[in-house]
Amino acid sequence: MGRYVAKRLLHALVVLLAVSVAVFLVARLSGDPSALFLGDNSTPADLVRVHHILGLDRPLYVQFWIFLSGALRGDLGQSIWQAQPALQLVLDRLPATLQLALTAFVLSIVVAVPAGVFAALRRGKAGDWGVIAVTALGQSIPVFVLGVVLVLLFAVRWHLLPPSGSGTWKHLVLPAVSLALFSSAKIARLTRTSVLDILGKEYVRTAQGKGAGQRRVVWVHVLRNAALPIVTIAGLELGALLSGVVVTETIFGWPGIGRLAIEAIAHRDYPVIQAEALFVASMFVFINILIDMTYVVLNPRIRLGGEGEA
Amino acid sequence: MKKFLAMFVVGTFLLAGCSSGGGGSGGSGDKGGQQVAAAPATSTLVIGNSAELNGLDPHIRLSTFNARVSNQIFQPLFRLSADGKIEGVLATAYKNVDPTTWEFTLREGVTFHDAAPWNAQAFVDNLKRMFDKALPSNVSSGIPTVVPDKTEIVNDHTVRVHTSTPDALLPRRFSHYWLSFVSPKVIDGHDAAYVATHPVGTGPYTFVDWKKDDHLTLKAWSGYWGPKATIDTLTFKPLPDPQSRVSALLAGQIDMAVDVPTPAVAQIDANPGTKIITAPTGTMEYNLYVDARKGGALANPKVRLALNYAIDRESIVKQVMGGMAVPTQSVVTPQSFGYNSDLQPYGYNPDKAKALLKEAGYGDGFTTNLWYVPGASPNEQEVTQTIQGYLAAVGVKVTLKPNEFTTNLSQTLGGKLDGLFYAGKTNQIMDADGIFTDSAPGSPWGQYAPLAGEALTLWKQEQQTFDDAQRAKLAQQIQKLLYDAPNWVYLHQMKQVYAVSSRVQGWQPRQDILLDFAGVTVQSK
């Protein structure tokens, strides 16, 4: 196990190095921040001067080395616009994003898993079709449409919830529901398929034949065995939620890392773009390692690669 | 699995607890739409701003959305009145001592929010910082003729500013919000990061807190030198999504939304508790800039005149801009000093355009590029596509060239664009001279089709004319010359569009796009 973890961590480092190179180069494709500092009243000489102040006149490999060596020390540079450490800006906004993403994640699981099981147990019946229809809708409506519709109904028309902002649980409801819908639809469909697959297995039929109750069959025999793919997709969805809050945070004025990303890109704030991308990539890698660990816990038959067994 | 879920549930509630506990700055200000609505009236005005601020240091270039906040805290020497006249703010008088020396009398009895006195030394300290080449800024471009090292302190409230060349516009230049004054206690011995987070000025409001991407709160300052603010607290909420600003207003979460998208105007006007307020943007208009450097069709004044007749501005404004713009026939906005109101609209006359093209030797038309930046201004793509259609109708084949914003700006300043480009050029001091200066030979914007001949001669004369009436007359003459032989294809001036709750009383937009809440009240619900 220890060797496996070490190997995965090494892989993670390689991935993060590749991400560092990619994000460093892509950030510089977003445009030149100097022009934004100066506006339309500037001269080419102003541009040269501000380039120098921001260190953008150095060769790319020098700029990359400064970024990489800083990153290894935990220093992802200063925000060009906000004159604060870039990593600090990300960390300041992280709690808001985690709060939103985790609420949406829990909401997804709580709704999707029972819905998927329910549909599977009523295969071909009205309940099944109902779940299929709702999940198809959930996966089809873009969050920017759903978000606006929810705001118009619950905030503008009925005045039940605030349309944007943060601070109370009421602010959390609309963005969390908007964000959760796509994930829960995906997880529900996968749960349904997975449960249907397990329901057809011999050991389940044996358990049913031995007179085990429906509840016991589902909880003990079906769900435990159907859990692997569900945990996989749920883990990936968590990563997707964390990195995919950009639109939701913008629509609902939620002060998280998604909005920070939009602002950083709009202002060509390279250090913040780099810090955020690297941070989100690190989270993704970490979640993936966690998922792999969870496999082993859920199904001891799975053996770890590198230990001589398939 | 249960542990896995439990971990997330517990984590979520812990985070929710941390957040809603409001530790520190996040707890004040907005408490959600319902509670704001129930708060005592007349004490708070909540404004939905179009973006999060990228700073609060007036000497690091601030965009409009920053200036809406910063001009509540910081003040310049002067400001422009509704009719474009110079009004004293931190200065009470100005006089021209000799052609290259201006004397400013600073307002007495003014202190900064941190009790530092506003005086000649504070002026000098700030002027020095405005010219600090170590700052990633060019606010000094607002006062390009000033020689900061020669500034003289005559007495505690009088300074003399020397310019490298005669500069009739200097008092007006000092009305730019970039040239606002920061407490010497903040700027002396501190770096830009400190200044950006310690906004201390002389304005009617003091800084309270700023939770980024959530809200920024200002409070009326009891020690303000001018009329006391009628609203106790101003809260700015950054809502970059236009529909979110509209929804927040309709839901009663905010009292005012800036930069309202045209499609939402009818909905807001129809809503009983809200209204739309518009005003022309006096500081900018959008035109097609022309590259006449390489000879060819665009170097011919008749061709440029033909293009002005070939475009139906009224239709563009009505159909494409939804009425939220005003057609123009001069590069100077009607709100600017020196505007020539005698100039009549060209009108849409494709036959005349064709005839002029033929006279110029381009009866079969020609091909050119049209550069634009999608999304940089309202309906930019649609406007340029429509222009492409109008020009095609008179035989001018235009290839649309979309460009990235900062790349486009760098290329514009570096003289890299060609053909035509759609652009709005800021003229914050609303003076005809501002736009002529930008059109001077060799200047970044003027390099494409610079002032020449009589227009150039008159402009040089205008710059050194200290009599306002005479200067205005010269500016009008230049515009007439540029009407008959245009250097631009004139298009339109955008309108500022605000959505305001009916509870807000007495607020009017300013032509220089800054927000002013003096005398404004908010009625209770």
Q: Are A106 and B19 within 8 A, CB to CB?
A: no
Q: Compare CB distances from A81 to B55, B215, B438 and report the shortest one's residue.
A: B55
The answer, for A255 touching chain B at a CB cutoff of 8 Å, is yes
How close does chain B come to A26, measured CA to CA in Å? 14
Q: Are B244 and A164 within 8 A, CB to CB?
A: yes
Minimal CA–CA distance to B384: which of B419, B355, B415, B412?
Answer: B419
Mean pLDDT within A123-148 = 89
Q: First and final CA of chain B: distance in angstroms? A: 51
Q: Are B30 and A152 within 8 A, CB to CB?
A: no
Instruction: Spell out the residues 6+ positions from residue A85 whose beta carbon is closer than 8 angstroms to its own.
Output: A75, A76, A77, A78, A79
Minimal CA–CA distance to B510: which of B81, B23, B102?
Answer: B81
Tokens representing B477? 């003459």
Backbone angles phi, psi at A85, to 5 degrees: -55, 130
Mean pLDDT within B396-407 = 93
Compute the distance between CA of residue B176 and CA of residue A143 in angstroms, rounded to an integer. Answer: 41
* Residues of chain A positioned with their CB less than 8 A from the CB of B137: 37-38, 50
Please list the residues that pair with B500 across neighbouring strands: B256, B275
Q: Where are the alpha helices (DSSP H) in B31-119?
A: 33-38, 64-73
The answer, for B322 touching chain A at a CB cutoff of 8 Å, is no
Please list the residues that pair with B286 across neighbouring strands: B424, B492
Q: Are A37 and B31 within 8 A, CB to CB?
A: no
Q: Are B247 and A263 within 8 A, CB to CB?
A: no
Q: Compare CB distances from A39 to B61, B133, B237 and report the shortest one's residue.
A: B61
Q: How far is CA B482 from CA A220, B51, B454, B457, in A?
A: 85, 37, 10, 13
Compute the distance between CA of residue A282 and CA of residue A87 in angstroms, rounded to an integer. Answer: 13
Query: For A16-68, how does the pLDDT look when each residue is reduced to its tens digit (9 = 90+)?
Result: 999 999 999 988 887 788 888 887 878 888 888 998 999 999 999 999 999 99
**Comparing B375 with A65, which gets the higher pLDDT?**
A65
The answer, for B212 touching chain A at a CB cutoff of 8 Å, is yes
Is the pLDDT at B2 greater than 70, yes or no?
no
Residue B313: predicted pLDDT: 97
Q: What percent of chain A has pLDDT over 90?
A: 39
How many contacts, defined by CB atoms under 8 Å, are there between A and B?
Answer: 207
Minimal CA–CA distance to A122: which of A225, A187, A216, A214?
Answer: A214
Q: Where are the alpha helices (DSSP H) in B235-379?
A: 242-250, 262-270, 301-310, 313-315, 350-359
Q: How far is CA B250 from CA A143, A243, B180, B255, in A?
A: 21, 30, 35, 9
Q: Are A102 and B18 within 8 A, CB to CB?
A: no
- Chain A, 91-110: which have a CB under 8 Å from a chain B CB? 92-93, 95-96, 98-99, 102-103, 105-106, 109
Query: For B115-157, how does the pLDDT look when each residue is reduced to its tens digit (9 = 90+)?
Result: 999 999 999 999 999 999 999 888 998 999 999 999 999 999 9
Instruction: Spell out the residues 6+ positions from residue A166 whose beta carbon is closer than 8 angstroms to its own.
Output: A96, A172, A253, A254, A255, B19, B26, B214
Q: Are B1 and A298 within 8 A, CB to CB?
A: yes
Give pTM, 2 decimals: 0.85
- Chain A, 153-212: which have a CB under 8 Å from a chain B CB? 155-156, 159, 161-172
Which of the residues B65, B131, B247 would you substitute to probe the A interface, choosing the one with the greatest number of A C-beta atoms within 10 Å? Answer: B247
Instruction: Spell out the residues 6+ positions from residue B389 whose beta carbon is closer than 8 angstroms to its own.
Output: none
Helices and strands counted in chain A (H then E): 14, 0
* Residues of chain B positioned with their CB less than 8 A from the CB of A263: 51-52, 54, 213
Q: How far is CA B444 from CA A46, A269, B142, in A?
A: 11, 25, 15
Q: Compare CB distances from A83 to B192, B243, B407 and report the shortest one's residue.
A: B192
Q: What angle do CA B425, B201, B111 make, to 5 degrees?
A: 135
Reported confidence tier of residue B41, pLDDT bands at 50, 70, 90: very low
Compute the distance between CA of residue A81 and CA of residue B428 in angstroms, rounded to an integer. Answer: 23
Tokens representing B321? 């801009």
The answer, for B18 touching chain A at a CB cutoff of 8 Å, is yes
* Residues of chain B positioned with their CB less than 8 A from the CB of A259: 52, 213, 240
Compute the distance between CA of residue A256 and CA of residue A261 in angstroms, rounded to an integer. Answer: 9
For residue B158, how many other CB atoms are within 10 A of its CB?
17
Strands (E) in B239-351, as ranges, are 256-257, 274-280, 284-290, 325-327
The answer, for A265 touching chain B at a CB cutoff of 8 Å, is no
* Residues of chain B positioned with their CB less than 8 A from the CB of A159: 33-34, 251-252
Q: How far is CA A87 from CA B25, B341, B472, in A?
A: 20, 54, 53
ipTM greater than 0.95: no
Q: What percent of chain B has pLDDT over 90?
A: 77
Query: For B456-505, how does the pLDDT look when each residue is reduced to its tens digit (9 = 90+)?
Result: 999 999 988 999 999 999 999 999 999 999 999 999 999 999 999 999 99
